[in-house]
Chain A
């Protein structure tokens, strides 16, 4: 593998593939904090040039984290289809980019290429793609999944209703849920982040959402985003859960810091297959986000884009119903400003879709980042154009429990309206029956949560 490049008489030398991958990234405060970012803009471009000329076999033959040392690496390595890999092993990263963007490459071809790719190859492609490249390539890919009801069809945009409450008040959660539904949001999932991580509390919230879904015959699925072990206890105690949730990282050590392993996920997977309330086949909800490995010192000097891509490689094993990157939640030491958040959102969505993941994005920021609601509205529109499967819906974008800002019910309705996107098909029919949606638009009745009381 080549590790140096000379651009107009100036030679840039890199240590190894890990070094090239890190330095090829767009500027991210997290890579700088890890001490692995390019030293200046020209070195960044030198790394990107060199990366574009490396072959896919170079990437596979130089693992950033050897399979012997890490179970996520092993899983990704074992999932490759060797015949398809052999057919593309000599492609350069540049050729991969150009193939993905070519008019002759459709969703079908990409589905085939995907089987020969590792997560590191997907990350490499993203690094040499511009923002509009990421949008264009992702927009070709359709990933339809089904829990109780299917989502992800081209031309649709679903929303997760995230009716969190600072003390898990059942009445309070219900109130925000009604508001969400009245704006046509909730087709991806009704998913609550609990304050209290106990099986009993999780069970109560799951029961309430199950009752509401039954009462109004809502074509959706429920989930409570507690730690997977808590959800497992709740399900064993009879809690009605359609989906299992868990946050993932891209390394074994990172997952250990999150209190999970592949063994544990396998055990949970068996449980949801046997005792979940949905027929599926897709019964998992995962969340990811650039920087989580570094935050638990489990990054092995690998850059945050590559690590994020590995999360999707891990997620794929469980055939998730939905996955979303919580793109700006982690703070300015990983993504400093709106430019970095927007870039990360587009990268994550593309890398996930390329690996066949039903990607959504929590377009969000914390108050100590250099970003505001305008930046989130921009990114929401960009992702809507890129064909994102779902966005997160929070009352007026202000999550009063998690203390960060995301996208609002109004925002999702607006992205649908501006880009001509529809809710998930069964959900749209339900909204029409209720009289809050007509001809692809909200009606006069929409926005009134009291219709659900």
Chain B
């Protein structure tokens, strides 16, 4: 969650509170509301036995330590921060990528057989197969047998697409251009699992395919994306035939770098005519 978003949320809540409790004592009319940044959630041990050591401990790990307590329970801020991070993950799983965001990249949308979010989570097999309508659409709209095919999917995190695509995608296109690779007609798959690559491979028969897909959200980042790549994807491909660049988000593998790197990997696949564990990178 970025600071701006947090500010917006806090502001909204404060506005609602003001509407609900229009008491002058409660809210300063010139106060803009509470502003929380990462630092404001930090709590500390009031009287540590070794003051200088406390900072060393917390600096050595991203784990939530040195948070202190009230009785046996965590302090309010620590608890709310954990819930806040989890909320971002929940929203990422349940969210949908906005259609007009995809239009910016000229991506049209097709669906897998996932039906709805609940079935998507319970039945990974359904997210690996495109609907008949989707097959029809991509047959009609996509270039057949391209050198490189780009596919984008929400997967387990819609916000991964919304956060990273604007940086990954142009960098990827540039990198393909630099390598003189021709690119097929890109599109978006709603409700996709990684192995939907195989079905798409059957239909369009690209030389190489890259799937940019939202990862299972963690608490560190709810907006992490993976790029799965495969040489001549077909049904029956096994996990070890694919290459992956994971953890693509602003605080992980930087999206622009990832985009450029994907281009390099795809080019090597074309040169070596293989992918996965057999590919020499």
**Does A129 touch B at the CB level, under 8 Å?**
no
Chain B residue at minimal CB-CB distance from A453: B53
- CA–CA, A318 to B81, complex, Å? 42
Q: How far apart are B75's CB and chain A's nearest CB, in angstroms?
A: 10
- CA–CA, A413 to B48, complex, Å? 20
- CA–CA, A166 to B219, complex, Å? 13
- CA–CA, A446 to B156, complex, Å? 39
- CA–CA, A398 to B219, complex, Å? 8
A372 engages B86 (CB within 8 Å):
yes
Q: How many residues of B contact A (CB 8 A)?
A: 46
- CA–CA, A176 to B61, complex, Å? 8
A453 engages B65 (CB within 8 Å):
no
State whether A396 and B74 are in contact (beta carbons under 8 Å apart), knowing that A32-B122, A333-B124, A366-B216 are contacts in the complex.
yes
**Does A408 touch B at the CB level, under 8 Å?**
yes
A179 engages B49 (CB within 8 Å):
no
B69 engages A450 (CB within 8 Å):
no
- CA–CA, A368 to B63, complex, Å? 21
When A and B form their complex, what is the total count of cross-chain residue pairs whose Cβ atoms lie within 8 Å? 136
- CA–CA, A90 to B63, complex, Å? 54
B122 engages A333 (CB within 8 Å):
yes
B220 engages A400 (CB within 8 Å):
yes
Chain B residue at minimal CB-CB distance from A180: B65
**Does A163 touch B at the CB level, under 8 Å?**
yes
| Cβ-neighbour of A368 out of B54, B69, B93 (below 8 A) | B93
State whether A453 and B63 are in contact (beta carbons under 8 Å apart), knowing that A332-B121, A373-B86 are contacts in the complex.
no
How does the 8 Å CB contact mask read for A13-41 relative to B, with 1 for contact and 0 for none? 00000000000000001001100000000
How does the 8 Å CB contact mask read for A423-453 relative to B, with 1 for contact and 0 for none? 0000000000000000000100111111101
**Does B22 touch A at the CB level, under 8 Å?**
no
| Cβ-neighbour of A453 out of B57, B83, B222 (below 8 A) | B57
Chain A contacts for B54, CB-based, 8 A: 449-450
Chain B residue at minimal CB-CB distance from A449: B57
A residues whose Cβ falls under 8 Å from a Cβ of B: 29, 32-33, 163-166, 169, 171-176, 178-179, 183, 332-333, 336, 366-369, 372-373, 394-398, 400, 403, 405, 408, 410, 413-414, 416-417, 442, 445-451, 453
B residues whose Cβ falls under 8 Å from a Cβ of A: 45, 47-51, 53-54, 56-58, 60-69, 71-74, 78, 82-83, 85-86, 89-90, 92-93, 121-125, 156, 216-220, 222
Give 19 A-B pairs besides A166-B62, A413-B72 with Cβ atoms closer than 8 angstroms: A171-B60, A175-B58, A175-B61, A178-B57, A179-B63, A333-B121, A336-B121, A366-B216, A367-B217, A372-B83, A372-B86, A396-B64, A396-B67, A396-B74, A398-B85, A400-B62, A414-B73, A447-B45, A451-B50
- 14 A-B contacts (beta carbon < 8 Å): A166-B62, A183-B69, A333-B124, A367-B92, A369-B121, A372-B83, A372-B86, A396-B63, A396-B64, A410-B74, A417-B71, A448-B47, A453-B56, A453-B57
Which A-B residue pairs are the 3 nearest by beta carbons? Answer: A172-B61, A396-B64, A367-B89
